[in-house]
Amino acid sequence: MRAPPWMPVLRGVAYVCAVLCVVVVAATATARGTVLNAGFHRDVLARERAYERLYDEVLVDPELTPVTRDLLGRLPVDEALLTSNLKTVLPPETLRALTDEQIRHLIAYLRGDRDALTLSADLRPVVENLESLTQTYFGDLVASLQERPSPDFPAFLRELDVSLQRVAAGEPPHGLPKLSLTPDQAAMAADALLRLVPEGQRAALRPEVDVALREGDVATALAAVGPAVFSDRTREAVERVRAAADGGSWNITADLERGDGSLDTVHRIRGATHLTLGVVEPLAGVLGAAALAALWFTGPESLPRRLRRLGWTLAAGGVLTALCVAVAGLVTGGRVVTPPASWPDSLVRLVDDVQSTALDRVLGGALTAALVALAAGAVALALGVAAQRRPVLEVARRASVWSAAGVTGVALSGVALVPLVFAGGGARVCQGSERLCDMRYDEVAQLTSHNAMSTTADRFIGPLQDPDIVGQLNAGVRALQIDTYRWERPEEVTARLRESDFPPETRRRITDAVARFNPPRPGLWLCHSVCRAGAVELVPTLRQIGDWLRAHPTEVVTLIVQDAVGGADTEAAFRAAGLEDLLHTPHRDPSRPWPTLGEMTESGRRLVVFAERADGPAPWYRNFYAYAMETPYAFRSPAEMSCLPHRGGGDKRLFLLNHFITIDGGSRLDAARVNARAGIVERARACERARGRPVTFVAVDYVTIGDARSAVDALNAERAERA
C-alpha cells in the first residue's frame, strides 16, 4: 500500500518540529534549573567564596581606599576601629542573608510568581552593630578615664546625651567625677581624647585639655573636644543612617528606579521569562511528544525503520543542542557582563570569577541535557539495528514498541530534568567547607580554645584567650574547653589557689581582691581555677552558644567541660539555656564510628558535650576520656612538646592535641611561636603517626594569635584529599 503524497511532508515537519522541541525543552529546563533558581545563585556565590573575598580582597583594595575613607570619615568612630571590626558591623552571615533575600525576590518576580518586584533590605542589624561598636568605643574611653573596671553603657549614654545637649547649648557639661591623675596619666588621657578630633584642630585644643585633665576635670576636657568630635559628625552619621534605613528598611527597588534604568531591563526580561516558562516550555514538550509520536505511527515501514527514525530524530536534537551550547560558549567567552573600567581590579576579578562559574554551570547543564537526548537516540538506533537482524515475534514486537515509548519518554524527561542537577540548593557546607560534609566527626580536625571562658574581653585575671566565647566561634573555633564552678566561699579560695597554675604574684592579687570585694555569688559559673579571678555565668553563656549555632546551621560545636559541677546540675543548666534540640547523643560504644558532619547538620544535633569527670546522667553528657585520648599539657617550652599518651590511654577514636605553653599560667609571648601554622601541622602529623589516629582537637591558648586556624584548615584539606 502506497503512502499518501502528504505523508512525507508530514514526517518532514514532524522531524523538524521534534528536533527543535528537544532544543527548546533543553534550553528552558536549563534556565529554570539555573538562572531562574535561587539555589543556583547561592551555590555559585558559595563556590567562589564571594562573601569572604568581598571582605578579604575587595574592601581592602587600595583602589577603594579613597571611597572607603570618605564613607568612614562621616562616622563618629575611628577609621581603624571600624575597618578592623568590619565583620562585626556587617557580619558575613548578615550580608549573605541580605543577598539571599534579594535573590529570592528577584527570581520569584522573573518566574512570574510575583506580580511586582520588591527589593528591600533590613538594615536594623547593621545599625545595631554599628551602634554597639560606637558604644563600646566611647564607653571604653570614658571607663578608662574614670578608671572603672567596665563601662556602664546605659548610664554613659544618658550622661553623653545630656553632655551633648549642654555642649550644643554652649554650656559646659557637668556631673562627671573629678579624677586624680598623674602627669603621665593626664597626658595619655589627653592623647586618647584628641585622637578623636580632626588633626587640624588638635594643637589649638591641647592646652585646654591638658590643663583640665591634670586637674582631673573630665567634664571640662569633654566639653572642649565635644564640639569638634560629636556635634557635626554624630548628627551627620545619624542622618545618613536614617536616610539609608528609612525606619530600618532600605527600599532598593525605589533607588534602582531612580537610577540608571536597570530595572527596565529586568522588567523586559521578566516578560520574556514569564512567556517562556508559562507557554513556550509546556508547548514545546507537548509538540515534541506529538511530533515523535507522528514519526513513529505514520507509514507502513517496519519496526526497525521506525526505531532508526526515532533514534536519528533524538540524536539530531541532542547534536543541535550541543552546537547551540558551543556557540553560546564562544560568543560569551566566559563573560556575560563587562564590568565598568572604573571598578577596582579586585572587584572585577570577583565578578568575573562568579559569572564564569555560573556560565560554566549553565552551559554544563544544557550540554548534559543534549547528551541525554543523544544517548537516547543512540539506544533507539541500536534497538533498530538489533530488530532488523533478528526475526521479530509478536511478543518481541510489543516489547520493542514499549521500549521505543520508554526511550522517548526517558529522553524528553531527561532533557527537561537533568539541568536541575546543576541548580544547587546552596552549596552543602560543613564547618566552612563542602569537602568536610562527607567526613566523619572523628576524622575532622577542630580548632579548640583552651580555657575558652578565661578571656581578656571578660576581664579575667591571667586570661588565656582574648575574644569572648562568641568571638572565638566567629574566629573559627569549633571546640571550647570550659570549666564549670560554683562561686567559692572565702575560706575555700586559699586552698584552691594552692592547686591552681597561677604564678605567686597573681595569687597575691587575687587574695587581696578577695579581702576587699567580690563576695560569693549564687548559681553556676565558668571560671578558671578561682571564680574571683574572673567568672561568667554558665546559663547565659550556653544560651549565647545556642544562638550562635542557630545562626550558623552548617556548623558543629563541641564543649569539653572540666566539671566541678555535678552532671544533674549541668543537665539542668543546658535545659534552662534551651539547648535540648541541639544536643547530639554519642553512641554508647565509644569505639563505634561517628556520623558524618553532613549527617549531624542535617539532623540539627550539632552540639557535642563531654565531661572530664562525669558520665551522665543525661545520655548526651558523656565522659570525654571514654571517647578520647590526649597528649600531655604541662609544657614549659616548645621543645618539651611530645605525643606521649596521657589521660584517656592510647586507643580512642578522638584525639586531643594539647598545644600550648604553661609557665605558671599561659604564655602570650610564646603563643605566636607555638600557634604558627607549620609547627602545628608538623606536630599533628608526628602525633598521628605515633598514635595511629588523626588529631581531632587542636587546643591552643590565644587562638587569635598566630595561624592556628590556618593549620587546622591545612590538616582538613589533606584529609579531604585522601578521602
Tens digit of each residue's pLDDT (9 = 90 or more) over 386-403: 766 655 444 444 444 444
First CA to last CA distance, the chain: 66
Residue 218: inside a domain = yes
The mean-pLDDT minimum among 141-155, 278-292, 573-587 falls in 141-155
3 state DSSP class of 72: helix
Residues 643 and 679 in one domain: yes
Residue pair 310/404 in contact by the 8 Å Cβ criterion = yes
Range of the domain at 354: 7-111+257-422
Residues 105 and 142 in one domain: no
Residues 301 and 377 in one domain: yes
> Minimal CA–CA distance to 101: which of 115, 120, 116?
120
Residue pair 414/25 in contact by the 8 Å Cβ criterion = no
Burial of 279 (0-12, 13-18, 19+ CB in 10 A): exposed
Residue 275: inside a domain = yes
Q: Which three cell numbers stand for residue 283?
A: 508547548
pLDDT top residue among 347 and 299: 347
pLDDT top residue among 24 and 481: 481
Residue 581: inside a domain = yes
Residues 451 and 539 in one domain: yes
Q: Which three cell numbers stand for residue 240?
A: 545618613
Residue with cell 513556550: 280
Residue 137: inside a domain = yes
Residue 428: inside a domain = no
Residues 215 and 277 in one domain: no
pLDDT of 609 higher than 90? yes
Residues 508 and 627 in one domain: yes
Residues 170-185: tens digit of each pLDDT: 454 444 444 556 677 6
pLDDT top residue among 459 and 483: 483
Q: How far apart are CA 662 and CA 164, in angstroms?
A: 49
The pTM of the full predicted model, rounded to 2 decimals, is 0.49
So what's the pLDDT on residue 35? 80
Phi, psi of 646 (to 5 degrees): -135, -130
Residues 107 and 129 in one domain: no
pLDDT of 248 higher than 50? yes
Q: Cβ of 593: how many Cβ atoms within 10 Å? A: 11
Final residue in a domain of this structure, among 187, 214, 247: 247
Provide, rounded to the nearest whole percent, the portion of the chain with pLDDT above 90: 22
Number of domains into which the chain is organized: 3
Residues 558 and 668 in one domain: yes
Q: For 661, which DSSP code?
A: B
SS (H, E, C) 27-65: HHHHHHHCCCCHHHHHHHHHHCCHHHHHHHHHCCCHHHH
Burial of 449 (0-12, 13-18, 19+ CB in 10 A): buried
User: What value does the mean pLDDT of the chain take?
Assistant: 75
pLDDT of 592 higher than 90? yes
Residues 183-240: tens digit of each pLDDT: 776 777 777 777 767 777 788 888 877 887 777 666 567 656 665 654 444 445 445 5
Residues 209 and 302 in one domain: no
Q: How far apart are CA 232 and CA 250, in angstroms?
A: 24
Q: Which three cell numbers stand for residue 212?
A: 583640665
Q: How far apart are CA 709 and CA 512, in angstroms?
A: 38
So what's the pLDDT on residue 500? 62
Residues 14-23: tens digit of each pLDDT: 778 878 888 8
Q: How far apart are CA 319 and CA 244, in angstroms?
A: 52
Residues 232 and 106 in one domain: no
Mean pLDDT of 419-433: 61
Chain centroid to Cα 83, Å, comes to: 19
Split at pLDDT 50, 70, 90, the class of 3 is: low
Mean pLDDT of 290-297: 75
Residue 307 contacts by C-beta under 8 Å, 6 or more apart in sequence?
A: 380, 381, 383, 384, 387, 400, 404
Phi, psi of 629 (to 5 degrees): -120, 165
Q: How far apart are CA 122 and CA 246, in angstroms?
A: 10
Residue 354 contacts by C-beta under 8 Å, 6 or more apart in sequence?
A: 44, 45, 48, 50
Residues forming a β-bridge with 657? 698
Mean pLDDT of 106-111: 81
Final residue in a domain of this structure, among 247, 267, 284: 247
pLDDT of 295 higher than 50? yes
Q: How far apart are CA 678 and CA 689, in angstroms?
A: 17
Q: Taking phi first (over 0 means left), then psi (-120 to 50 degrees means alpha), and beta for anything else, what does residue 700 get?
A: beta
Residues 212 and 306 in one domain: no
Split at pLDDT 50, 70, 90, the class of 166 is: low
Q: Taking phi first (over 0 means left), then psi (-120 to 50 degrees means alpha), and beta for anything else, what does residue 424 get?
A: left
Final residue in a domain of this structure, among 193, 217, 247: 247
Residues 566 and 706 in one domain: yes
Residue 291: inside a domain = yes
